[in-house]
Amino acid sequence: MSRVLHRSGAIPPIAVAGDGIYLHTADGQAIIDGSGGAAVACLGHGNRRVAEAIAAQAGAMAYAHTGTFSNQAAEDLAEIILKDEPGGLTRAWFCSSGSEGNEAAIKLARQYFLEIDQPQRVRTIARRQSYHGTTLGALAAGGNMMRRAYYEPILSQTHSLVSPCFPYRFKREGETDAQYLDRLIEELDKEFQRLGPDTVMAFLAEPVVGATTGCVTALPGYFRRVREVCDRYGALLILDEVMCGMGRTGTMHAWEQESVTPDIQVIAKGLGGGYQPIGGILIRDRIVKALAAGTGGFLHGQTYQAHPVACAAALEVQRIIREQHLIENVTLMGERLEIGLYERFGNHRHVGDIRGRGLFWALEFVTDRATKASFEPSVRFNERVKAEAMARGLAAYPMGGTLDGKVGDHIIVAPPYIVEASDIDTIVERLGDAVDAAVKGL
Ligand SMILES: Cc1ncc(COP(=O)(O)O)c(C=O)c1O
């Protein structure tokens, strides 16, 4: 019996220790954390330097309210991320999760337009099958249909959704990439027109869509054209890099590979690597200046924002990533993972698509590669693969509802940035065996 309310009825294995890419359970299993949880554990587990940084900060000063004090860990963390002002981003604001980061981004967008005397801007546009968080505001802004379903009647109506850029599923038969792109951009433009272009605050998107559809990268040029539409109508571009950012896809920021820069960027998971709960937003200079010239500050706050212990942990994680050139390892090991997945699953009857970037890859499962038919949702194929992988000592991140919140199955592999070639091979091998076993068990 457990007094913790778990996600499903059953009590999952109790994780008691972590060591590199492994998690150890109370009943003695060693499991490869092949997805870093939900693409979180970028440094792997049990890093002594991070543990010591946490202890040192907690011992020296665990908490000071940001209404009265700053703290050196937050100052240094913002500096290490923003010292070169990537994409014109000049200020950081830290919270405790990705959802809170998206809430802050939306509220900052609203305040920005009040500061520059455009109070009529109250709407956002995002994409179906995207996820921006679980709190009511972030859930309302996003397009994860499965996670929205129960709460639809109580979600704010100021957010609207357009189609995702998801060629494997939604590029039409006979349509070229260029035609598909034109169609998506036209749809976005029309949505601005429908809402009234000067009522829209921001367009929100994940540069690489994470858990909802499984590592879906956009077609080249998509984000540049989205940026053009935003600029045409004076709306902000908010890029949610909670899952795909902080090095996960082979560059510190996923937008670097899209030739666009955001006005506000949301970060979390890989920022602190799971050593402490931390998220944040990175803010472009023109927004900072508008606040400075207007009311002077951001009218949004949380008790635990810029928490010293969380910031100290993230600072050490970020230092290690830089000192050990781990993003280069993401690219190197990412190539090996990509090759390994294609070799193992490229002709697999039940793997319709292999997609991703860096150390962020997914398999989408089908009953038939030619028709791309998905498994019946009641089969819960993604969960079967997860269970078979766990039985073989591999944790991966599965999800159903890939297409529309109901239909479709995928699983994500997103190992820590410290992963080695032999680990990649083991992950692919165990995943291959798990998929085959799941098929056999049908
Ligand atoms: C892209 C994206 N945005 C926001 C969130 C919400 O972050 P959190 O669960 O830390 O609140 C997630 C979490 O999976 C995410 O992947």
pTM, whole model, 2 decimals?
A: 0.98
How far apart are the CA of 25 and the centre of ligand 1, in A? 25
Q: Say if ligand 1 is within 6 A of residue 36 CB.
A: no
Q: What rounded mean pLDDT belongs to the chain?
A: 98
Q: Say if ligand 1 is within 6 A of residue 131 CB.
A: yes
Residue-wise pLDDT tens digits, 20-42:
999 999 999 999 999 999 999 99
How far apart are the CA of 274 and the centre of ligand 1, in A? 13
- DSSP H or E stretch at residue 259: none
Ligand 1 probe mutation, 242, 255, 271, 399, most atoms within 8 A of CB: 242
* pLDDT of 251 over the 90 cut: yes
Q: Say if ligand 1 is within 6 A of residue 137 CB.
A: no
Q: Say if ligand 1 is within 6 A of residue 38 CB.
A: yes
How far apart are the CA of 96 and the centre of ligand 1, in A? 11
Closest atom of ligand 1 relative to the 277 alpha carbon = 10
**DSSP label of 257:** G
H helical segments located in 116-176:
136-141, 145-148, 167-170
Residue 9's pLDDT band, with cuts at 50, 70 and 90, is confident
Strand 123-127 with 200-205, pairing: parallel
Cα angle 217-222-228, degrees, rounded to a multiple of 5: 145
Q: Cβ(45)–Cβ(55) under 8 Å? A: no
Residue-wise pLDDT tens digits, 262-303:
999 999 999 999 999 999 999 999 999 999 999 999 999 999
Task: State CA 88 to chain mean position distance.
Answer: 21
Q: Say if ligand 1 is within 6 A of residue 423 CB.
A: no
How far apart are the CA of 437 and the centre of ligand 1, in A? 30
How far apart are the CA of 98 and the centre of ligand 1, in A? 5
Q: Say if ligand 1 is within 6 A of residue 280 CB.
A: no
Strand 30-33 with 351-357, pairing: unpaired
**Percent of the chain having pLDDT more than 70?**
100
Tell me what the mean pLDDT of segment 241-249 comes to: 98
Q: What is the pLDDT of residue 1?
A: 84
Identify which of 341, 344, 343 has the alpha carbon closest to the alpha carbon of residue 333: 341
Q: Dihedral sign for Cα 326, 332, 338, 344, please.
A: negative
